[in-house]
Amino acid sequence: MKRSPAVAGMFYPGNPKTLSGMVRRFLDEAGDFRLPGLKALICPHAGYPYSGPTAGFSYRQLEKMKKKPPICILVGPSHYAYIDASVGNYETYETPLGEVKVNRKICDELENSGIPFTPDAHSREHCLEVQLPFLQTVHPDAQIVPILCGAISPDALADKLEPYFKDPDIFFIISSDLSHYLPYEEAVLRDRNSLKMIEFKDIENEDKIDACGATGIKAVMRLADKHDYKIKLLDYRNSGDIAGDKSGVVGYGALAVYKE
């Protein structure tokens, strides 16, 4: 079973040439932090004109890795279906840039561990799909393991992901935006507070993190804390910085999980 694009032509260009050029521009304009021991990225998932520049900062780091892990586990929030969690156990995910192979072995393992495959949760979901053109550009040979989160707790998710977090052949991409539709100044203050808690792995106060993909973020915070990884902010901006309307904005952050 193939998973066809749901938001091509809406969240990002449907024309392959236009899409490829846009992604390349975002990557070229992003900073290279040259972080050692890169293990995971946190990336936004809005429409490319809004969040693409920030996503470029995340994927620029993966592009510069000398040895790229062959498997990427993608974790994001379920926006359209009420679930505990679901693994996208398709054969491939399609985008205008081609097909991305799904690692069925790990998907099967996750299903056996209690995370079912609920196709209806994935069919319209954008949060993982918008990551793929970036991934296809910087790591075209990567296989993916798509996971959507609903009611599952960060502790439960971290427990299921820990064996893979310890595997050097597996990389993590956490898909999340930050605060939604707050006035500009309030959004910046709240987002900066959320980003600080993420960077410092402040699990004690994590309930104050305002992010739609908070479950995935909190899970990776636990894994980073347990295995002595650091988290670094790469870029922050919001839709008001890009579109100009500051009455109600959405925040976008790019962060990296790495070990010195």
pLDDT tens digits, 7-66: 999 999 999 999 999 999 999 999 999 999 999 999 999 999 999 999 999 999 999 999
pLDDT at 226: 98
| pLDDT (mean) for 144-168 | 98
Number of folded domains that form the chain: 1
Query: Long-range contacts for 157-162 (Cβ within 8 Å, ≥24 apart)?
Result: 157/75, 157/85, 157/215, 157/216, 157/219, 158/218, 158/219, 158/220, 158/222, 158/223, 160/110, 160/113, 160/114, 160/115, 161/73, 161/75, 161/219, 161/223, 162/223, 162/226
**Which positions ≥6 away from 140 have C-beta within 8 Å?**
none
Q: Which helix (H) or strand (E) holds 216?
A: helix 214-226
C-alpha Rg value of the chain to the nearest Å: 17
User: In the prediction, which pLDDT does 76 show?
Assistant: 98
User: What does pTM read for this prediction?
Assistant: 0.97
Give the pLDDT score at 244: 86
Please check the confidence at residue 174 and state whether its pLDDT lies above 90. Answer: yes
Q: Which of 77, 74, 84, 82 is nearest to 46 (CA)?
A: 77
Across the range 156-174, mean pLDDT stands at 98
pLDDT (0 to 100) of residue 35 = 96
CATH number where 14 lies: 3.40.830.10
Average pLDDT, the chain: 97
Report whether pLDDT(133) > 90: yes
Query: Please, are residues 42 and 133 in contact by the beta-carbon 8 Å criterion?
Result: no
**pLDDT reported for residue 56:** 98
% residues pLDDT > 70 (the chain)? 100
What was the pLDDT predicted at 88? 98
Q: What domain range includes position 112?
A: 2-258
Average pLDDT over residues 209-225: 98
Q: Is 99 exposed, middle or buried (0-12, 13-18, 19+ CB in 10 A)?
A: middle
Q: What is the mean pLDDT of residues 59-87?
A: 97
Convert the pLDDT of each residue in 186-209 to its tens digit: 999 999 999 999 999 999 999 999
User: If DSSP codes are grouped into helix, strand and coil, which group holds residue 26?
Assistant: helix
The pLDDT score that the predictor gives to residue 254 is 98
Average pLDDT over residues 86-111: 98
